[in-house]
Amino acid sequence: MHRLLFLLLVLSVPSLAQNAAKKKSGLGADAPPGKPFIYKESAGKTRQMEIYFPPGHDPAKAKVPGMILFHGGSWTGGSLGQFRIASAYFASRGMVCATAEYQMLSKADAAKLPAGETRKRVCVTDAKSAIRWFKQHAGELGIDPQRLITGGGSAGGHISALATMNPGLNDPADPMDIDTNVVAYVWFNPAFATNDDKDPEIDILRHLKADLPPAIAFFGDMDNWKKGWDTAHAKWKALGTKSIDLQIAPGQSHSFFNSGPWQTVTLIAADKFLVKQGLLSGEPLKTMPVSGEKLVPTP
């Protein structure tokens, strides 16, 4: 009995240490899952999103901004866990915030696609369905469907962009009278590939327009995916777009925002961006890390 208790205590030490480190950095322990909702079925499987609500939120009395974030994972993996901390944080700031999964093709299924199509298409289709479901259920969720924000990390950033910019790739079962327009984007190193030109439906460069809603984008200056972003950003500038707030993390590579002090830094920056857009109010609930990490704004 004593030996079992000792083993349990030993096994608990790493998680206690990790939580202590997260609290020290201002993150707190891992956020628990949000309230689960099934937003559709695709390829014979249900697709889920987890939704986080502000404290004391009464859908009958309050219609607050909503945000939906999509996880990364190279269009083949990843999980809802990536944005639980962010979703819980933005809910604590007064938003209804969701993080949604989506269909991902296996290597074998991707190999069966017609020439010219990539595995990324199904991801975008489900992202569009998730946004429409969120708007369709705005009343029961207590959100204002005209104040919806989207975004995500890496592949999730890419599909959030295409889900709102590409008029195609719709699920025929979706309510087509509900659009996928949003009022702002929060992108964490979105994976805009320079070789997507082989499939026009998922090539972000073919769907850029000058009137992009306000967007904040985070990148590490050592991120190999930044080349694709730079190409898209240059085209937006050529179109006259002036709504992008690009924030660079010095010395950081891909997915730097997922943990450690950089997660706190990017959440604070996203918070201030949303305040500037009138979608949040007040000051961030997190404090900048004492270790001194800072983002560098880039024109």
DSSP letter for each residue of 95-119: -EEEEE------HHHHHTSPTT--T
Cα→Cα distances 73→83, 110, 191, Å: 12, 16, 10
Domain membership flag for residue 82: yes
Q: Which of 6, 5, 83 lies closest to 49 in space, CA to CA?
A: 83
The partner residues of 98 in beta bridges, in order of sequence, read 51, 68
Query: Could you tell me the pTM of the whole model?
Result: 0.90
Domain membership flag for residue 260: yes
Could you tell me if 45 and 76 are in contact, meaning their C-beta atoms sit under 8 angstroms apart? no
**What is the C-alpha R_g of the chain?**
19
Could you tell me if 226 and 192 are in contact, meaning their C-beta atoms sit under 8 angstroms apart? no
Q: Determine the 3-state secondary structure of 136 from DSSP.
A: helix
Could you tell me if 71 and 152 are in contact, meaning their C-beta atoms sit under 8 angstroms apart? yes
Domain membership flag for residue 137: yes
Q: What CATH code is carried by the domain that includes residue 118?
A: 3.40.50.1820
Could you tell me if 10 and 71 are in contact, meaning their C-beta atoms sit under 8 angstroms apart? no
Residue type, 178: I
The partner residues of 245 in beta bridges, in order of sequence, read 216
CA dihedral angle for residue 15, residue 18, residue 22, residue 27, rounded to 10 degrees? -40
C-alpha–C-alpha distance, residues 200 and 174, integer Å = 22
The total domain count for the chain is 1
| Torsion sign across C-alpha atoms 160, 162, 166, 169 | negative
Domain membership flag for residue 242: yes
Which tokens sit at 223?
Answer: 């991120």
| Beta strands per DSSP E along the chain | 35-42, 45-52, 64-70, 96-100, 143-153, 184-188, 215-220, 244-249, 296-298
Domain membership flag for residue 10: no
Domain membership flag for residue 92: yes
pLDDT 10s digit of each residue in the chain, 299 long?
333 333 332 323 333 333 333 333 333 447 899 999 999 999 999 999 999 999 999 999 999 999 999 999 999 999 999 999 999 999 999 999 999 999 999 888 888 899 888 999 999 999 999 999 999 999 999 999 999 999 999 999 999 999 999 999 999 999 999 999 999 999 999 999 989 998 999 999 999 999 999 999 999 999 999 999 999 999 999 999 999 999 999 999 999 999 889 999 999 999 999 999 999 999 999 999 999 999 999 98
Which tokens sit at 203?
Answer: 């090539």
Domain membership flag for residue 169: yes
Residue type, 195: N
Domain membership flag for residue 21: no
Which tokens sit at 135?
Answer: 């708007």
Give the domain range for residue 174: 47-298
Residue 170: predicted pLDDT: 98
Secondary structure of 129-141 as H, E, C letters: HHHHHHHHCHHHH
C-alpha–C-alpha distance, residues 53 and 95, integer Å = 7
Residue 294: predicted pLDDT: 97
